[in-house]
Structure 1
Amino acid sequence: MATTKSAASVRGALPAELTTFVGRRRELSETRRLLASSRMLTLTGVGGVGKTRLALRMAAEVRRSFPDGVWFVELAALHDPQLVPHTVANTLELRQVSADPASDLAAYLESRRLLIVLDNCEHLTDACAMLASKLLAAAPGLRILATSRHVLGVEGEQILTVPPLSTPAAEVEAGDAAHYESVRLFLDRAAAVAPDFEVGDGNRDAVVELCRRLDGVPLAIELAAVWLRTLSPVQILNRLEDRFRLLTSGRSAAPRHQALDATVGWSYELCSPAEQVLWARLSVFSGGFDLEAAEEVCSGEGIPTADVLNLIASLVNKSIVIRIQATSHTTAWYQMLETIRQYGEERLGEGEKQELVVRHRNHYRSLAERYAAEGFGSHQADWYIRLRREHGNLRAALELALDDPADAAAAFDIAAPLWNFWFAGFLREGYRYLIRAIELAAEPTRARAHGLWAASYLALIAGDLDRTDTMLAEAAELAERFDDDLLRARVAELRGHTVLYRGDLPAAIALLEEARTRFRALGEPLGEFDTLVLLAAATFFLEDPRDGDFSQQALALTEQYGATSSKAYALWCVGVSSWRVGEYDRAVENLRECVRLFQPLHDLTGIGFGVQALSWCGASISPDERAARLLGASHAVWRTSGAKIDETSPYSQVEKGLQEAVAGTIGAAAFERAFTEGASYSFDEAVALALGEGDGGSPQSGRSAGRAGAEAPGGLTRREQEIAGLLAEGLTNREIAARLVIAQRTAETHVDHILSKLGMTSRAQVAAWVAEQQDR
């Protein structure tokens, strides 16, 4: 499956289609009908029948019907049922902060209209069913489209069994063969691998019979078509017939199962012995792999490292492995369809599989170690993107370590060095892995000590301050036991960070200066940089003029090492320092650059800090409704990031003062309306507003940049358009609140905002306006 990318015109995330979509007109129509009449639809069928492709095409066709997006959640590489809610939340760009992510998701979705596609649910049936039931009960605007080989059993679930593609019943006339979907698919894939191939009198019967024998199963047909590079349709048919005889002589199975088993098995037999071995070994990867990983994990015992590249190339040519193009920040990436991967896994002996998963775990342990060593440098952005791509493999390696208490300490070596990767977007997940390791591997080791520190850091950002103190105290004890200077420096830094959050700024500065001295003595630039950022923040809150010096030193350090991702945090320091002394234009410039540097990395926590500071600038430049809206949008970004800024922290105190100032200027009612609107924005809309996109880049503009491209006549947001329609139906505020599952006060605020924007004084006027817009 291709990596996901968001469509430019609508919210959501759908994988790019790598090949053309053929046929399925009836199934698309039926899927659309069922999805319109029910809120939960599961596409079932055998492996390789095309459930995922059908779901993706359907999602692409209906995405404009869902103002809050269509989101594709790939579950094939996930093995821990407890991570299903986390995975859905991460896909929806909601980084949860509580221990109950399903409830957080339910609360987040309750007033939204969106479609979630849950793909490959069969191995997580119970977890998917429980989550789907909870979300559907809480969010009346939610639709779920699932693909699974098994029914999920959710109340109200509609089932559509995806059939094979249509096949000819017998011999067909010359012009009729391509009327059948299976034949059209074969010809389409044939054109891709053998452009000069044509159907004629000499091979038409073989092509038709081939599609019939493969029972119209798309994956089977695609695997067979690949061999047109070297074989004729007659030769392919003859060899498949031998495979069918082997299958039917050994056991009975449904024709569709036989078709896929025959084609996959035949493809396997046509591979060289070395290709077969590599196919099986590659099945150990979860979600894909790069060449480096394949060489390290799969070489040896008959496959020299130097041969792995050519063998992968051969498997790509046979469509066993799918190649994803490299980008400016990545190397080539390889994947196998789940059915193909499972076939390879079945070829592994138990002992061989155990050896491979251990090698896999050790590779990702080494990868985490390299990241820790190279993460503050010129390839910093590449590392963040690489780790996101390797997320499934990191999970698999951690799960293997945590499955056996005797091996749980290995999880520290993987999860702890990745602390700032978890911080940037998978906060709760990384915290969970570290806590599990701490509970299982209780022996006081150096690895546990660094795991405690990393867990303490994530606990602080997640708002779990009590647990931060407990784990940090143990980490400090172990730092002394092992005479670990790096850990001493990290403990001092985190103690300073914790004290800063609690508002004791002088004590925070003393601890952070101690930590900086230690990091400099060790030659640890990342640690020194982090303490400089925190020193800049602490002195900023104290209105201590040293904040400018600390900010510039942090910026200089990132430029010295080429650490462009960390540069974004340095620009935050420079920005807020400029804001404090009234240099608003400079502050806005630096803070917007900060956010833009974070965006390609999808560092939601960093973006949260940047947008929050831009909201401070907006409130100072012009305390109007746009400023109030931007202050609310800052909360929308924090909600998505999963980081939690305690209400008593200096950050919150600054924001509270600015909110009061803006409310005092425009009035409490106007402030609440605008703030509520901003807080209801999507992540993308909130960020766009902060960046001034769509409003000429002017921080003084009172118009919502984030909504500019999607506003209806009258400047109404999507939610206001929806409520205007309900007003036109004659619903009261209480009825609107019940229909949309929102608070009555929120409904009243939206209604007031609609009347204000449209310059109207009555609901009847709104109803007439809605009717006029519909006529237009």
Structure 2
Amino acid sequence: MGATTRAGNLPLELTSFVGRRRELAEGKRLLSAGRMLTLVGVGGVGKTRLAGRIAAEMSREFEDGAWLIDLAPLGAGELLAETVAALVVGCPYPNMESLTAYLRDKQTLLLLDNCEHLLAQCAALAGDLLSTAPGLRILATSRQALNLPGEQVLEIAPFTVPEPAEASMEDVLHNEAVRLFEDRASSVVPEFKVNDANILAVARLCRRLDGIPLAIELAAARMLILSAEQILERLDDRFRLLTTGPTTAPSRQKTLRALLDWSYDLCSDQEQALWGRLSVFSGGSDLEAIEQVCSDGIARESVPDLVAQLVGKSIVLRRGQGSAIRFEMLDTLRQYGRERLVASGEDKALRLRHRDWCRDLAARAEAEWFGDRQMEWLGRLAREQGNVRAALEFCLNEPGEAWAALEIAAAMWSHRLSWSSPSEGHHWLERALAKEPGAGPVRAKALWVDAWLVLLRGEPEAAKPLLEECRTLAERLGDEAQLAGALHITGFSALLAGDFDRAFSLLEEALARRRVLGHRGHEWVVLFQLAMTAVLMDDPRSAKLCEEVLEKATRANAEWSVSYALWVTALERWRRGALRDAVTMMRDAVRLKLRCNDHLGLAQCIEGLAWVLADDGQYEQAAQMLGGAQVVWRSIGTSLSGLGHLAGAHDRCEATLRRHLKDDRFEAAFGRGSALTVDQAAAYALDERPARQPESDVLSVLTRREREIAEYVAKGLTNKEIADALVIAPRTAECHVENILRKLNFTSRSQIVKTWESRRSDQE
């Protein structure tokens, strides 16, 4: 079951954490006492590192994990909720609804890092989430406070620095700024220690750098080739030059700027060029991408060495391991690199090279997605989401480049899981279609892809004009591929509407056209939807179609496709009465869904198992399975009602169960299922737990805080008395009690009392 356990994503610390004991203790105290804490301070002061340490040390208090969301690569606030939901919820269609549904009964910490360019959007998101999820706490970093009601602000100042009058070596050695310099310097020169010979220079250097951690780390990286005295001398020269310029900037800002300028000047010409060029990447990149985008005028074979040199100088960070090694820069260093790139006159050329790299990436992903690299491509496109967004934003803001945005976004049709949600794909395509009125094949393709996305958003009326324009344009161009696309999505629309005869006819024609064109991936998707249509209309051709769907996906070794092929084939076995085969195949599909982290598919599989079990006379198990499916639907912020072609089977199943169990027994079994977690629902679907929990174990579905509150309820305390006892707001206590009632499928507090007393007597 580990495949769906999502216990956070806090990165491991790559260097030692130095100092900040007071701020660390205060941050933990404030976050324990309240629910929203923002660390505020200048760039380079160490807000991100401190926030990460606070989150790590408090992570055990959050049963459902602590999550770091870096907002620096996010250029616009429109996709904020989708970005957070994609990371935290991990479902195919994340949005604000799925995020709030997922967090509502969770004990979770969100770390929103680098909020300063999205202040209003971050404040709105935080406010909405905190008002609906009583177990949620938010830790943010920003150069400004979010000004949210209830927000606590902790200002992070630079390290204190040794005063010139401090004569005691012991005092200087215990100074946080000096300790940081020594720690980082010894990582490049292992034998380095602060001693009598260099202590004055190191102390003066830390004062000169105003105690700014990033500045100290950049200076310490120079110890590989310079002594502390030499660094100080060169830095003094830099500051003398700086004082001749404008005096309006804050002194700390001048300090950091001087360090960045100096670090830049210490780089070779090629290192300087690469530093600037790397700034076009958003969210980092791998070495292959750097070589492709940044090697103009730099020998490609020398790029790895140059990257290594920038890593050695603490300009570039190396992340990950194995085949997922990536290189990225802190936002302060990236913004400085962008300034240098613009000043060099190379900015547009590099943005175009970056755009072309994204075009190539999207094209290769489209060509190779239906094969043994399917999961690899889904993972890679998820990692490159920041770069794809940056390229699309550039294309949409640069005159004459909207055509490239259409091309990139439309090529992602097969990887809608790599978008945050169908809404994000639609966001880009709608903007690109409006900016690029040209009547070519790229527009025709973008139209049917956008129609698919709006259908997945539950907006069939919005899809109609897109499909009409696509069909008209494709016919005028004589473009068979896009005409097949229009037929396919029109058929898919009919399938969602439950018009199976029309859907079958359109999908059959689209399949024939795709086979002539030799588009394997397109062909399989149409074939899958045709097989599903045949199953739902009890067409005698359904068995052969399902066999072909499964055979093609298995031969291609495309895991995600195989999971759906197993699901639709299980439905076909169910419809013709082969119930044992149907259960086996549906459970095989569940296992693959867990591997793929596909909660939408998981919900459909658990639903399907309920239908099969109901027909097999296992009525209580089927009712509990329906409740478990509801848990998964709720976790992704949607329901089966959005998939009209499947809603009829659900309604018939529920009617059968109510007829055999009567309403009371159905509601009880359904309630037990709906009280499970997603992991527990999947385990139950796989028959990895007993169908009925002992009454005394029913409280296991509650979080630690909810069990604590349940005990207070059992003792007869009111919500206000519980709030006073736990030092929380009365509304928070009320939300917790409501969650307990919902999870246990109870309607009154007296049921909580009875269950708690039963549990206590069992334990005695």
Shared fold by TM > 0.5?
Answer: yes
Alignment partners' CA distance in 1, 2:632 and 2:141: 31
1:153-172 paired onto structure 2 within 5 Å: 153-170=147-164, 171=166
Asked if 1 retains the 8 angstrom alpha-carbon contact of 2:35 and 2:138, the reply is yes
Summarize the Cα distance change of 1:625–1:62 in structure 2 as closer, same or farther, 3 Å threshold. farther
CA deviation vs aligned residue, 1:748-772 (integer Å, no higher than 9, x gap)? 56566599xxxx9876556767999
Alpha-carbon distance, 1:222 to partner: 1.9
Q: Does 1:498 align with 2:493?
A: yes
Asked if 2 retains the 8 angstrom alpha-carbon contact of 1:623 and 1:665, the reply is no
Alpha-carbon distance, 1:106 to partner: 5.1
Residue 417 of structure 1 is matched in structure 2 by 411
Q: Does 1:342 align with 2:335?
A: yes
Counterpart of 2:154 in 1: which secondary structure? Answer: strand
Residue 651 of structure 2 is matched in structure 1 by 656
Summarize the Cα distance change of 1:488–1:86 in structure 2 as closer, same or farther, 3 Å threshold. same
Summarize the Cα distance change of 1:399–1:632 in structure 2 as closer, same or farther, 3 Å threshold. farther
Q: Does 1:332 align with 2:297?
A: no
Summarize the Cα distance change of 1:126–1:107 in structure 2 as closer, same or farther, 3 Å threshold. same
Alpha-carbon distance, 1:606 to partner: 3.4
Alpha-carbon distance, 1:119 to partner: 0.9
Which deviates more, 273-282 or 168-177? 168-177
Alignment partners' CA distance in 2, 1:104 and 1:264: 42
1:210-249 paired onto structure 2 within 5 Å: 210-249=205-244
Asked if 2 retains the 8 angstrom alpha-carbon contact of 1:733 and 1:748, the reply is no
Alignment partners' CA distance in 1, 2:608 and 2:20: 50
Residue 393 of structure 2 is matched in structure 1 by 399
Asked if 2 retains the 8 angstrom alpha-carbon contact of 1:723 and 1:750, the reply is no
Counterpart of 2:68 in 1: which secondary structure? Answer: strand
Residue 390 of structure 1 is matched in structure 2 by 384
Alpha-carbon distance, 1:419 to partner: 1.4
2:526 partner letter: T
Percent identity between matched residues is 42
Residue 530 of structure 1 is matched in structure 2 by 525
Asked if 1 retains the 8 angstrom alpha-carbon contact of 2:41 and 2:143, the reply is yes
Residue 714 of structure 2 is matched in structure 1 by 728
2:279 partner letter: S
Alignment partners' CA distance in 2, 1:418 and 1:265: 40
Alignment partners' CA distance in 2, 1:117 and 1:640: 20
Counterpart of 1:144 in 2: which secondary structure? Answer: strand
Asked if 2 retains the 8 angstrom alpha-carbon contact of 1:555 and 1:570, the reply is yes
Structure 1 unpaired stretches of 5+: 1-5
Selected match of 1:201 from 192, 196, 202: 196
Asked if 2 retains the 8 angstrom alpha-carbon contact of 1:93 and 1:641, the reply is yes
Counterpart of 1:118 in 2: which secondary structure? Answer: strand
1:266-281 paired onto structure 2 within 5 Å: 266-281=262-277
Residue 513 of structure 1 is matched in structure 2 by 508
Asked if 1 retains the 8 angstrom alpha-carbon contact of 2:550 and 2:562, the reply is yes
Residue 726 of structure 2 is matched in structure 1 by none
Counterpart of 2:411 in 1: which secondary structure? Answer: coil
CA deviation vs aligned residue, 1:729-759 (integer Å, no higher than 9, x gap)? 535799999656669997656566599xxxx
Alignment partners' CA distance in 1, 2:721 and 2:608: 38
Q: Does 1:34 align with 2:34?
A: no
Alignment partners' CA distance in 2, 1:735 and 1:750: 22
Counterpart of 1:14 in 2: which secondary structure? Answer: coil
1:443-592 paired onto structure 2 within 5 Å: 443-592=438-587
Counterpart of 2:39 in 1: which secondary structure? Answer: strand
1:371 partner letter: A
Residue 727 of structure 2 is matched in structure 1 by none
2:702 partner letter: T
Counterpart of 1:29 in 2: which secondary structure? Answer: helix
Asked if 2 retains the 8 angstrom alpha-carbon contact of 1:501 and 1:650, the reply is yes
Alignment partners' CA distance in 2, 1:203 and 1:68: 48
1:226 partner letter: A
2:156 partner letter: V
Alignment partners' CA distance in 2, 1:172 and 1:633: 69
Alpha-carbon distance, 1:82 to partner: 1.4
Counterpart of 1:159 in 2: which secondary structure? Answer: strand
Count how many residue pairs are aligned between Structure 1 and Structure 2.
751
Alignment partners' CA distance in 1, 2:29 and 2:447: 52
1:447 partner letter: V
Residue 117 of structure 2 is matched in structure 1 by 123
Summarize the Cα distance change of 1:236–1:675 in structure 2 as closer, same or farther, 3 Å threshold. farther
Residue 257 of structure 2 is matched in structure 1 by 261
Alignment partners' CA distance in 1, 2:738 and 2:407: 50
Counterpart of 1:15 in 2: which secondary structure? Answer: coil
Residue 280 of structure 2 is matched in structure 1 by 284
Counterpart of 2:341 in 1: which secondary structure? Answer: coil
Which deviates more, 247-256 or 525-534? 247-256
2:498 partner letter: G
Summarize the Cα distance change of 1:144–1:750 in structure 2 as closer, same or farther, 3 Å threshold. closer
CA deviation vs aligned residue, 1:63-109 (integer Å, no higher than 9, x gap)? 333344433221100111211222222233276979xx557755665
Selected match of 1:378 from 372, 375, 382: 372
Alignment partners' CA distance in 1, 2:399 and 2:673: 47
2:415 partner letter: F
Alpha-carbon distance, 1:29 to partner: 1.5
Q: Does 1:86 align with 2:82?
A: yes
Alignment partners' CA distance in 2, 1:584 and 1:733: 49
1:438 partner letter: L
Selected match of 1:318 from 308, 313, 317: 313
Structure 2 unpaired stretches of 5+: 723-729
Summarize the Cα distance change of 1:440–1:182 in structure 2 as closer, same or farther, 3 Å threshold. same
Counterpart of 2:9 in 1: which secondary structure? Answer: strand
1:746-757 paired onto structure 2 within 5 Å: 753=746
Alignment partners' CA distance in 1, 2:644 and 2:143: 49
Q: Does 1:701 align with 2:691?
A: yes
Alpha-carbon distance, 1:215 to partner: 2.8
Alpha-carbon distance, 1:643 to partner: 6.3
Q: Does 1:25 align with 2:10?
A: no
Alignment partners' CA distance in 2, 1:308 and 1:380: 29
1:180-195 paired onto structure 2 within 5 Å: 180-195=175-190
Alignment partners' CA distance in 2, 1:343 and 1:754: 58
Q: Which TM-score applies when normalising by structure 1?
A: 0.87
Alignment partners' CA distance in 2, 1:768 and 1:544: 55
Alpha-carbon distance, 1:589 to partner: 4.1
Alpha-carbon distance, 1:487 to partner: 1.5
Alpha-carbon distance, 1:282 to partner: 1.0
Alignment partners' CA distance in 1, 2:761 and 2:161: 50
Alignment partners' CA distance in 2, 1:236 and 1:396: 37
Alpha-carbon distance, 1:580 to partner: 3.6
Counterpart of 1:320 in 2: which secondary structure? Answer: coil
Asked if 1 retains the 8 angstrom alpha-carbon contact of 2:4 and 2:594, the reply is no
Bigger relative contact order (CA 8 A; separation at least 6): 2
Q: Does 1:717 align with 2:712?
A: no
Alpha-carbon distance, 1:525 to partner: 0.9
Alignment partners' CA distance in 1, 2:702 and 2:93: 28
Residue 353 of structure 1 is matched in structure 2 by 347
Asked if 2 retains the 8 angstrom alpha-carbon contact of 1:182 and 1:216, the reply is yes
Alignment partners' CA distance in 2, 1:7 and 1:163: 41
1:414 partner letter: I
CA deviation vs aligned residue, 1:232-283 (integer Å, no higher than 9, x gap)? 3333333333223332343445443344223322221111011001101111
Asked if 2 retains the 8 angstrom alpha-carbon contact of 1:39 and 1:144, the reply is yes
| TM-align CA RMSD | 3.6
Asked if 2 retains the 8 angstrom alpha-carbon contact of 1:166 and 1:182, the reply is yes
Q: Does 1:58 align with 2:54?
A: yes
CA deviation vs aligned residue, 1:108-149 (integer Å, no higher than 9, x gap)? 655554332211011111222232233334444433221101
Asked if 2 retains the 8 angstrom alpha-carbon contact of 1:461 and 1:645, the reply is no
1:608-619 paired onto structure 2 within 5 Å: 608-617=603-612, 619=614
Asked if 2 retains the 8 angstrom alpha-carbon contact of 1:725 and 1:770, the reply is no
